[in-house]
Amino acid sequence: MLQRPRRNRKSEVIRQMVQETHVSAANLIFPLFIIEGENQKTEVSSMPGIFRYSIDNLLREVESCMNLGLKSFDLFPNISEELKDKYATESHRDESLYLRAIRAVKTNFPEACVVTDVAMDPYSSDGHDGIVENGEILNDETLEVLGKMALAHAQSGADIIAPSDMMDGRVGYIRQVLDDNGFKHVSIMSYTAKYASAFYGPFRDALNSAPKFGDKKTYQMNPANQREALIEANLDETEGADFLMVKPALAYLDVIKLLKDNTELPIAAYNVSGEYAMLKAAVQKGWLNEQRAVTEVLTSIRRAGATAILTYHAKEVLVNKWL
């Protein structure tokens, strides 16, 4: 035998020498949940190790992440039911929990990268990402709300705006609003291929943001479709996106690879709440080795072609020195 691939696997040093894919802190974005109040820290029951923080504790959490070299954060607000309405007006009210949180993080940690989520669902009394009229999600009317929200985020100091709503035309609309208001330097990370997935369940528990009726299938993509992701990718690129995101990550590694092969833009992937919950549950039962499972998951997402990974594992892999 002339070819013996096992020779390149014979020792740890050689295995590391030929390793093709690496994950580092620079690739990771840590999603953080925010709640109203002081000195609050409540665990999300379906996401062991993940908490909702009041702003004071959020700052402590960000500081401890920064010290570990984890410097990018994606913020999500848990809004109390009485502040929700049909038009998600709380999403662009100057003193809202979310805008205060963005300002607090950027004031205290100017070098941190703050990613903000643009979609109506945490603020909508209907629990949908767009305006609902007679059971339908209105597209163009929703753009106006998303534009106000994105502008408010930019004014509060957001580095990257991440529209997760899946309305048509929203990347171009938001780009225009940002540019018209002097925020040409604020980036857009588009949720390009966001699927109508079962794996968002724990996130909706965390924010109490589940739809009050129906599902999200008229705007989020059908999990059976791959080529449709290219339509979304071409649109987002033309409309001015700086990053294209695939979400969820694990069940959609083929879509990550597809986008990687069809764009020069950096690809982000969202290793979502349900993927985290699934792994943690198996670890709690003693059915998986946590370190090996987590690093394999993150490495696979990078191998498929994602540059940035939004993941709830971001802090623990650094605390435990698993990378």
By CB under 6 A, residue 232 contacts ligand PBG: no
User: Rounded to the nearest 5 degrees, what angle is found at the Cα of 13, between the Cα atoms of 12 and 14?
Assistant: 95
CB neighbour list of residue 144: distance below 8 Å, 6 or more residues apart? none
Residue 200: closest CA among 267, 89, 109, 119 = 119
Which listed residue (194, 216, 280, 315) is catalytic? Answer: 194
Query: Taking CB under 6 A as the criterion, which residues in 202-221 touch ligand PBG?
Result: 203-204
Residue 259: closest CA among 234, 286, 223 = 234
Structure tokens at 233: 């990718």
Q: How far is the CB of 10 from ligand PBG (least distance, A)?
A: 40
By CB under 6 A, residue 272 contacts ligand PBG: yes
Q: Give the Å distances, CA to CA, from 102 to 23, 87, 196, 311.
A: 27, 21, 28, 19
* Cβ nearer to ligand PBG, comparing 57 with 91: 91
By CB under 6 A, residue 311 contacts ligand PBG: no
By CB under 6 A, residue 79 contacts ligand PBG: no
Q: Tell me, what DSSP letter sits at residue 172?
A: H
Q: How far is the CB of 65 from ligand PBG (least distance, A)?
A: 17
Residue 260 is among the residues annotated as catalytic for this protein: no
| Ramachandran category for residue 39: left, alpha or beta (phi over 0 → left; psi -120 to 50 → alpha) | left
By CB under 6 A, residue 119 contacts ligand PBG: yes
Q: How far is the CB of 203 from ligand PBG (least distance, A)?
A: 3
Q: What is the b/e burial string over 190-212, where b = at least 16 CB atoms within 10 angstroms of the residue's CB?
A: bbbbbbebebbebbbbbbebebe
How many residues form the binding site for ligand PBG (CB under 6 A)?
A: 11
Residue 247 is among the residues annotated as catalytic for this protein: yes
Q: How far is the CB of 2 from ligand PBG (least distance, A)?
A: 48
Q: Confirm or deny that 264 is annotated as ligand binding.
A: no
Q: Give the Å distances, CA to CA, from 229 to 146, 207, 260.
A: 22, 27, 11
By CB under 6 A, residue 164 contacts ligand PBG: yes
Structure tokens at 304: 């498929």
Q: How far is the CB of 1 from ligand PBG (least distance, A)?
A: 47
Choosing from 53, 73, 195, 200, the residue that interacts with ligand PBG (CB under 6 A) is: 200
By CB under 6 A, residue 90 contacts ligand PBG: no
Strands 136-138 and 131-133: antiparallel
* Cβ nearer to ligand PBG, comparing 210 with 282: 210
Choosing from 55, 102, 117, 192, the residue that interacts with ligand PBG (CB under 6 A) is: 117
Count the Cβ atoms, other than its own, within 10 Å of residue 323.
16
Structure tokens at 219: 């705007």
- How many Å apart are CA 83 and CA 75, to the nearest integer? 18
Choosing from 75, 112, 121, 229, the residue that interacts with ligand PBG (CB under 6 A) is: 121
Which listed residue (71, 84, 148, 247) is catalytic? Answer: 247
By CB under 6 A, residue 273 contacts ligand PBG: yes
Q: How far is the CB of 289 from ligand PBG (least distance, A)?
A: 23
* Cβ nearer to ligand PBG, comparing 11 with 30: 30
Active-site residue list: 194, 247
Which spans of this chain sit near ligand PBG (rule: CB under 6 A)?
117, 119, 121, 129, 164-165, 200, 203-204, 272-273
Residue stretches of the annotated binding site for Mg(2+): 232
Residue stretches of the annotated binding site: 232
